[in-house]
Amino acid sequence: MRDRHLAEALIMKAALMESNVKSNDVIELLLHHYYLLLCEGCSNYDFEKVYPRSSKVKKSKSEIIVASPRNLSEARLFAKSRIVDIVSFGASNLRYLDSSQVELLIQSGKAIELRINELITDYKALGRLRRFASLLINKEIATSFTCSPSRALEICVPHQVISLLKTLELGEEDSLTLWSLSTNYVLSLVESKGMKKVLRRD
């Protein structure tokens, strides 16, 4: 029952984010929304103590790491080994694709998770990411944006996600659309497995 009420609250907040509100209000709402997504009753314990089950992170020279579940059922299974918006689980569950494969995958309309390094310095990599974002918005594909942690148990905090959207130089409406698509992806996990199975704490 608690999970259902939480899911309903998240949907309501997603609707609010799509309305015309001031930029500062949007940021504040996104931060609050993110924390609500991330854990059940976060105020009852230290946020930093929330961490992923696995600390395995695949190494890659690429500025952009892309991982995609083959279908939504498989995506929901990821809930057993990860925390929302954290990249820290084994490579056996993921497929790593180059840019052309990513575009084909997006065109197919399947849910996708994009894992992004916190610092993208390569201009071409940023251009590819912006291209992916535009395709995701146009296709309205359920998407999970995550930051690739520099340390095994590092949490991808809200300001990093918001900073990423700003880096893409997207308009406010497009940024909110991306966030909403990510919310849809997360909700599918919560509704399938329940919040406690999607998230864990120390």
User: What angle (nearest 5°) sits at the alpha carbon of residue 122, between those of residues 137 and 176?
Assistant: 25
Which H/E stretch holds residue 116?
Answer: strand 112-117
- Residue pair 175/163 in contact by the 8 Å Cβ criterion: no
pLDDT tens-place string over residues 26-83: 444 444 444 444 433 434 333 332 223 333 333 333 323 333 334 444 434 433 333 2
Tokens of 107: 């065109």
* Cα(43)–Cα(71) distance, integer angstroms: 34
pLDDT at 161: 54
What integer is the mean pLDDT of 111-138? 65
Tally Cβ neighbours within 10 Å of residue 47. Answer: 13
Backbone angles phi and psi of 147, in degrees to 5: -95, 135
What integer is the mean pLDDT of 7-20? 43
